[in-house]
Structure 1
Amino acid sequence: MTPSLPLLAVTALVTGLLGAPDREVSPVGDVVEHVAGHASGTYWTPQRMARAVPIGLLGGLQRITAARPGAPSALPAAPPGSVLPSVARAALPPAARAVLAPGQAASRSTATTRTTRASRTARTRQAAAMPPATTSGTRWAAGGSVTRTTGRVFLTLNGVDFSCSASAVRSANRDLVATAGHCVKDGAGDWAENWTFVPGYDEGRQPYGAFPARRMFVAGPWSRSGNDDYDVGMVAVDDLDGQHLTDLVGGQPIAFDPPRSRRTYGFGFPADPPYDGERLLYCAGVPHGDPQGQTRDQGLRCDLTAGASGGPWLSGFDPVSGRGTLTSVSSFKYSNDHRTMYGPYFGSAVRDLFRTAERA
């Protein structure tokens, strides 16, 4: 467990959750599976979702926080990410210009100047509509696939309702969600219950419905000791009215053993002040190694708060389409560095986790 000092109050986890016994399943590697207890279809009311407490970002049990009141996001909304049409440039051939009267030439010159100004304005607007490629926290307003594949997770631990973030992933079963391990199981402690994924969540709206968990998976080292190098969870969800998750919203592809220090976009729904969990935000930049040497994780400059846990880190991300490759998830922050979010490196253990979960 990564040593870090408590920043937020801790809720003790002392009781077990109902459900089938945990079992080691090893079609590939060291993986622990849990058969999820289904949430009642009426459990996650809008009121319960609004009251859910964001799971914290410090190590181990310190992630589980007591309730704190939310606050509206202080971030301004970015301009829409629509691509503006380009302005065509009219050019007359030399022969046509030769027969123009002086008045016509002046008119043509004025029209050309106006067209050039319009073109510059269109290019300026288009550039302004593109989201920044480096930011420590900005609302995502450019649309694209990421707005459908990213969503909020609602779960219960020890009778307390919590929220996290997660992403739909391309998989063989078409039902897989990737998130942080601590959004699925509290390290060596309890598994979550009432676990539900809401893709495309936006200010209370659930445009694609809510998908409850049916089977949960974490890596053995996370389940046994809460090792932050393995803070990844995979959850196979039920279909919705016969429709698989990724058939409905799509899924981001996942990669393993990726090159380090590649430009990365991290998404999530931070719900601790100054954010309120109602909108999708993102960070973007080039991640670096853990300077404290406590993990093999990478750090990304990011001001997102609790509730962003489990949100996807996408490399090779295209802001226009909203597609990238999942190479990590938001995991933790050190108590002496609140400006940096860390995410686990997707090596062989995460590959084994994914291959096991996508067969569920």
Structure 2
Amino acid sequence: MTSSLPLLAAASLVAGLLIAPTTGATAIRQTATESGRRAAKTPVQPFTEKTETTETTGKTQTTGKTGKTATVAATGIPDVVEHATAPTASERERVLGYWTPRRMASALPIDRLAKVTGVLRRLSAAGQGVTPRRSPQGAASRTAGARWTSGGAVGRTTGRVFLTIKGSDFVCSASSVRSASKDLVVTAGHCVKDGTGAWADNWTFVPGYSQGRRPYGQYTARRMFVAGPWSREGDDSHDIGMVAVGTSGGRHLGDVVGGQDIAFGAPRGRHASGFGFPADAPYDGEHLVYCAGPLRDDPNGQTGDQGMRCDMTAGSSGGPWLSGFDASTGRGTIVSVSSFKYSDDRRTMYGPYFGDSARALYTTASAS
């Protein structure tokens, strides 16, 4: 188990970007009893998989749980684990029908899994009343999450994810990202797969969500992708998920809402704006919320992540972090997603550094 609090709730490559590996240390696994300073991530018991899982390592050949041999491309890139879901039209219709307004309204952010398992403490609200500071780049830093009311591309491309794990319904945040397929969504790994445990079921993305409204339709998952270290170890440094979605009303996601750019190997320490749908108090998950500020390396040395001062709560996991964000257009470049908080610092959100692992995910998922 990783020792962090999860917050469950991309695009033609930018030319000329230098791809750099993650430089932070691999997350150290501790439970709450092993360290009074940090709280453990809630384990979710796996459920029976219905479809084949393929692991591409570039070195070995593995098989999915169906016992079928998986085809492995000897690419030498960091490994990507893939999961097929809702393969037929009838299955997609079943997923769409599952998410009634009532079910969406009652879905829980993942840290409330404590109410089901009794393992994880609920995140508390923090950071209220913080006065925004000015960053060296002139963009306002904001620790206390504020409702985004300026519209633009980010209001369309950012949305809520609804998913089921072992019979319980949960919510996350995510973003449409540019890709050749026009069908790609980026989110946190734990919004797709519970680390070493179960893959999500009934996974659907609602871009531009607002107070129960689904103005741009909803998009069910076709294929899900996570990094190998996340699937095997629940490594917080690789808490990234990408999902190839189906069409809605016969239209591709990218044609309807567009997609944000994505970058890999970007310089650390830049200013970024984080967006999501926090659902724990004082938020209600019904509005798009944002924080902004400079990114800093994990001071605990437990992960290769960067942190942003932000009080968004559970439900915001998977929401995009945009560098070079232009408030007038709502466009920026995705450089991370909201992942976790330390139990002794609930005013800082952490997100994985987008290096080789994220690039491998994007390359694989965008070709799906």
Pairwise same-fold verdict (TM > 0.5): yes
Find out whether 1:358 has 2:366 as its counterpart: yes
Shift in Å, 1:274: 1.0
Q: Could you tell me which residue of structure 2 aligns to residue 95 of structure 1? A: none
Q: Could you tell me which residue of structure 2 aligns to residue 21 of structure 1? A: 52
Q: Is the 8 A contact 2:296 2:308 kept in 1?
A: yes
Q: Could you tell me which residue of structure 1 aligns to residue 160 of structure 2? A: 152
Q: Deviations over 1:126-163 (max 9, x none)?
A: xxxxx972112111111110000000000000110000
Identical amino acids, percent of aligned pairs? 60
User: 2 CA distance for matches of 1:348 and 1:15?
Assistant: 28
User: 2 CA distance for matches of 1:299 and 1:9?
Assistant: 19
Find out whether 1:133 has 2:140 as its counterpart: yes
Q: Which amino acid aligns with 1:145?
A: A
Q: Give the counterpart of 1:217 among 225, 229, 249.
A: 225
Alignment of 1:76-115 (within 5 A): none
Q: Is the 8 A contact 1:55 1:309 kept in 2?
A: no
Cα distance 1:285–1:31, how it changes in 2: closer, same or farther (>3 A)?
A: same
User: 2 CA distance for matches of 1:132 and 1:205?
Assistant: 30
Q: Is the 8 A contact 2:3 2:41 kept in 1?
A: no
Find out whether 1:66 has 2:115 as its counterpart: yes
Structure 1 counterpart SS, 2:273: strand
Cα distance 1:149–1:293, how it changes in 2: closer, same or farther (>3 A)?
A: same
Structure 1 counterpart SS, 2:229: helix
Q: Is the 8 A contact 2:2 2:40 kept in 1?
A: no
Shift in Å, 1:23: 1.1
Q: Deviations over 1:27-75 (max 9, x none)?
A: 553000000134513100010000001023xxxxxx8543699x9xx99
Q: Is the 8 A contact 1:178 1:310 kept in 2?
A: yes
Shift in Å, 1:3: 2.7
Is there any run of 5+ residues in structure 1 with no aligned partner, and where?
Answer: 57-62, 77-130
Q: Deviations over 1:179-229 (max 9, x none)?
A: 000000000000000000000000111000110001000010000000000
Q: Give the counterpart of 2:81 among 32, 52, 65.
A: 32
Is there any run of 5+ residues in structure 2 with no aligned partner, and where?
Answer: 5-30, 33-37, 57-71, 130-137
Structure with the higher helix share, 1 or 2: 1
Structure 1 counterpart SS, 2:360: helix
Q: How many residues align?
A: 299
Structure 1 counterpart SS, 2:98: coil
Cα distance 1:162–1:146, how it changes in 2: closer, same or farther (>3 A)?
A: same
Q: Could you tell me which residue of structure 2 aligns to residue 296 of structure 1? A: 304
Shift in Å, 1:335: 0.6
Find out whether 1:328 has 2:336 as its counterpart: yes
Q: Is the 8 A contact 2:3 2:40 kept in 1?
A: no
Structure 1 counterpart SS, 2:250: coil
Q: Could you tell me which residue of structure 1 aligns to residue 189 of structure 2? A: 181
Structure 1 counterpart SS, 2:359: helix
Instruction: Indicate the structure (1 or 2) with the bigger Cα radius of gyration.
Output: 1
Q: Is the 8 A contact 1:10 1:64 kept in 2?
A: no
Cα distance 1:258–1:283, how it changes in 2: closer, same or farther (>3 A)?
A: same
Find out whether 1:3 has 2:10 as its counterpart: no
User: 1 CA distance for matches of 2:42 and 2:235?
Assistant: 19
User: 1 CA distance for matches of 2:43 and 2:294?
Assistant: 36
User: 1 CA distance for matches of 2:104 and 2:264?
Assistant: 33
Q: Could you tell me which residue of structure 2 aligns to residue 48 of structure 1? A: 103
User: 2 CA distance for matches of 1:174 and 1:242?
Assistant: 13
Structure 2 counterpart SS, 1:247: helix
Q: Which amino acid aligns with 1:346?
A: F
Structure 1 counterpart SS, 2:254: helix
Cα distance 1:313–1:65, how it changes in 2: closer, same or farther (>3 A)?
A: farther
Q: Is the 8 A contact 1:150 1:168 kept in 2?
A: yes
Cα distance 1:287–1:12, how it changes in 2: closer, same or farther (>3 A)?
A: closer
Q: Which amino acid aligns with 1:183?
A: C
Shift in Å, 1:242: 1.9
Q: Is the 8 A contact 1:154 1:164 kept in 2?
A: yes
Q: Is the 8 A contact 1:9 1:65 kept in 2?
A: no
Cα distance 1:346–1:292, how it changes in 2: closer, same or farther (>3 A)?
A: same
Alignment of 1:160-199 (within 5 A): 160-199=168-207
